[in-house]
A and B are shown apart, each in its own frame.
Chain A
Amino acid sequence: MAQLTYREAVARGIAQEMRRDERVVLIGEDVAGAGGVFKTTVGLLDEFGAKRVIDTPIAEQAILGAAMGAAMTGLRPVAEIMFSDFFAVCWDLVVNEMAKTRYMTNGQVTLPLVVKTGNGGGLRFGAQHSQSIENWAMAIPGIKVVTPSTPTDVIGLMAAAIRDDDPVLFFEHKGLYAAKGEVPDGDIVDSLGSAKVRRTGADATIVALGLMVPRALEAADQLAQRGIDAEVIDVRSLVPLDTTTILGSLHKTGRLFTVEENPRLLGWGAEIASIAVDECFWDLDGPIQRITTPHVPLPAADSLEDLVLPSAELVAATVEKALQS
């Protein structure tokens, strides 16, 4: 076992797979010589050389196009989009090209690629560098979407993503880069499409993603002191979605809450709420509530950003009030 930060885990996960398969290559802005602006690819250039770890120009469309063209002709590229906000610049490559080409060609083209990105807020970077956009990706058929919340999951899900033969968007959370966790030695390989119960409980199911997972766990501790036993589920994978785990928990507790960093409308939790009402209506002991960032761009001032991003206190207060009405 070792203590690793989330950002170190990113490099370790990529290195693990690059050692295993020489078709795995890494491209992005400042990923090679500088080890990444968030230091998530430190050491990779040294270990694997300039042919496999490549610094690109600032040209997101060219970066993703290169990853796609290489993936369709025998390589297994990992491309980086520095801030997930920048996906808007190259969204065509994601949703029109990567997501659809296998389907349109009736299976002739396979795209075993991963696009990793720094997602999420809390670092006072302002509205254009702080968004959580995994819900945008969830809306497009043909793209797999994962968001790990712990260093161990970073390695395991990165491995799973690289080994997967489909395009995977790998959302790292910028606010978690410095977070430490215990990581087992050796190779770690997880599976896409699986959620994890981080804390078992009987009174309510709280479903969270990314940075919201530690906040939900903190809220669960606060709730426990007030006599409410909350179950916290780390969704981890939006596509494929582990509805079995989530709905199974709801069946047990009867109350469902989601904690979403996306702005209100069409956050990832809206879909889960819809599925729950459709398939578990007769298990619901009360309304499903989504705890989300309000529907505003993220403000830059630290006090304002802390106000709008869901906090552990907000989660605990919302759950407690709901269970008592």
Chain B
Amino acid sequence: MTITEARHRHSPLVRRLARESGLDLDRLVGSGPAGRVTRTDIGRAAAGGDSSEKQPAASVRAEEDAGDRSTVMPHSAVSVVEVDMSRIVSAADRSDARVGQTSALTAIFVEAGLSGLRGYPALHALFRGGDGGGYRHVAVAVETDDGNVTAVVKDANDLNLGGLTRRIGDLEAHAKASSLTIDDLAPARFTVAHARRFGVILQAPVLGPGQVAVLTAGSIVERPIVVRRPDGERVVAIRSMSYVSLTYDSRLVDAAVAARFLASVKERLETWRPDGAPLPDR
């Protein structure tokens, strides 16, 4: 079952019963078909506030949530956009120290992904933690000599670009030193990855149980592309291009929403400015 808005999963009856019982539907796990909350679920929750309500807890909770789907593999779908990274690359060329580091580039992708999520409450709801706060379930793929590990960026929503860069840099250092903790390695719902190895330009990983989406930026490659000049004439120019893909669970995320999310990420990346603020709208 695909959804465009999380609240559409709840029937009018269920919404009313929840309202009357003072229950938060987002905290309830559904036992009905395709995970629907049923009137029986409401009845049980209202009676005892028991295990049918989600408990806030760090990785333990994350596993519990993932466990709801742990026996069912997500149905992966992929959408891809092509992003002109020239602006960001030229900032790096102008020796902006913040952009030069690989962790900084990853942080830029994470930040773009987060801003996309903020613009889409539908996706937002999927990734929100049980404490109602920030993106505890945003992770980044960190490269080590043994391959990629996924590490959680805590409170990602509260960090600015600089903070994200530092946090990701820390995780990468720990990963290299093999000193990541269990806490850091919690399974995540939303992951950002930057594929740089071996010049891979497009990567769309298959989702594992509990994962909802992975945003992957491919290697940045200089290529000739068609550009429209301000006077309207089209010319061929050399630009630094990257394929940015979103792999997502098609049962939970609508293809149209995925497309709009990617468009928002693309916009953010293509209008990026060194001071962290995007360019004003054209």
Contact = CB atoms under 8 A, between A and B. Distances in A.
Contacts of A254: 11, 13, 39
Given A254-B39, A285-B39, A325 B34 contact: yes
Interface string A250-288: 000010000000000000000000000000011111100
A282 B39 CA distance: 12
A283 B12 contact: yes
Contacts, number: 25
Nearest to B20: A282
Contacts of B15: 282
Nearest to B19: A282
A284 B34 contact: no
A29 B13 CA distance: 52
Nearest to B38: A285
Contacts of B246: none
Nearest to A286: B11
B14 interface: yes
Main secondary structure of the interface of B (DSSP, over half): helix
B230 interface: no
Main secondary structure of the interface of A (DSSP, over half): loop
A132 B256 CA distance: 43
Nearest to B13: A285
A51 to B, nearest CB: 60
Interface in B235-273: none
A18 B76 CA distance: 73
A303 interface: no
B133 interface: no
A106 interface: no
Interface residues of A, number: 9
Interface string A26-46: 000000000000000000000
Contacts of A325: 1, 33-34
Contacts of A283: 12-13, 16
Interface string B136-179: 00000000000000000000000000000000000000000000
A324 B12 CA distance: 17
B81 to A, nearest CB: 33
Contacts of B33: 324-325
B34 A282 contact: no
Nearest to B16: A282
Contacts of A286: 11
A285 B13 CA distance: 5
A226 B12 CA distance: 26
Interface of B: 1, 11-16, 33-34, 38-39
Interface of A: 254, 281-286, 324-325
In the complex, the 4 A-B pairs of residues with the closest C-beta atoms, listed nearest first: A282-B16, A285-B13, A285-B11, A284-B12
19 contacts: A254-B11, A254-B13, A281-B12, A282-B13, A282-B16, A283-B13, A283-B16, A284-B12, A285-B11, A285-B12, A285-B13, A285-B14, A285-B38, A285-B39, A286-B11, A324-B33, A325-B1, A325-B33, A325-B34
Given A254-B11, A282-B12, A282-B16, 10 more contacts: A254-B13, A282-B15, A283-B12, A284-B12, A285-B11, A285-B13, A285-B39, A325-B1, A325-B33, A325-B34
